[in-house]
């Protein structure tokens, strides 16, 4: 006969395993909390490697060729719900590319890390690799 307390403990443990909280190794959901540089946006490659993003719990930090941004992720990773997106506003010779990146981040809905690649999905998907921009 299984004791009710043991059954309850097993059920609570299983539920806790589903909760997307940061672990000791820096993961939230399946997303490692580290810096990534953009290598693709939509179907286009980004050869300059001059745009980056970093997830830190409920914050998203990033940079383009000329400006940076901070934002809040109001959802729990791997879900993304960007709020309070605040970019800097320095003049930029690559403003079109930078604004495309910033808009894709603003409209992102989820992140998935597989095979060393971070895919950030939304109306425009983005592909990142771990590390910092060159």
* pTM for the model: 0.78
Q: Which pLDDT score is estimated for 132? A: 76
Class of domain 22-130: mainly beta
Closest CA to 103 of 115, 95, 111: 95
Where the chain has pLDDT below 70, the residues are 1-28, 133-134
**Per-residue confidence (pLDDT) for residue 120, from 0 to 100:** 97
pLDDT of residue 133: 67
Nearest CA-CA partner of 74 in 34, 108, 37? 108
Structure tokens at 56: 């830190």
CA distance 110 to 96: 24
Name the residue ranges covered by the structural domains of the chain. 22-130
């Amino acid at each position: 006969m299984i004791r009710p307390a043991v059954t309850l403990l097993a059920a609570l443990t299983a539920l806790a395993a589903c909760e997307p909280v940061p672990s000791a190794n820096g993961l939230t959901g399946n997303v490692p909390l580290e810096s990534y540089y953009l290598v693709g946006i939509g179907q286009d490659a980004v050869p300059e490697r001059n745009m980056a993003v970093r997830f830190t719990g409920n914050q998203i930090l990033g940079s383009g060729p000329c400006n940076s941004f901070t934002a809040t992720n109001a959802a729990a990773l791997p879900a993304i719900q960007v709020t309070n997106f605040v970019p800097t506003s320095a003049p930029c010779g690559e403003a079109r590319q930078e604004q495309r990146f910033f808009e894709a981040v603003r409209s992102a809905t989820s992140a998935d890390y597989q095979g060393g690649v971070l895919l950030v999905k939304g109306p425009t998907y983005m592909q990142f690799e771990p590390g910092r921009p060159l």
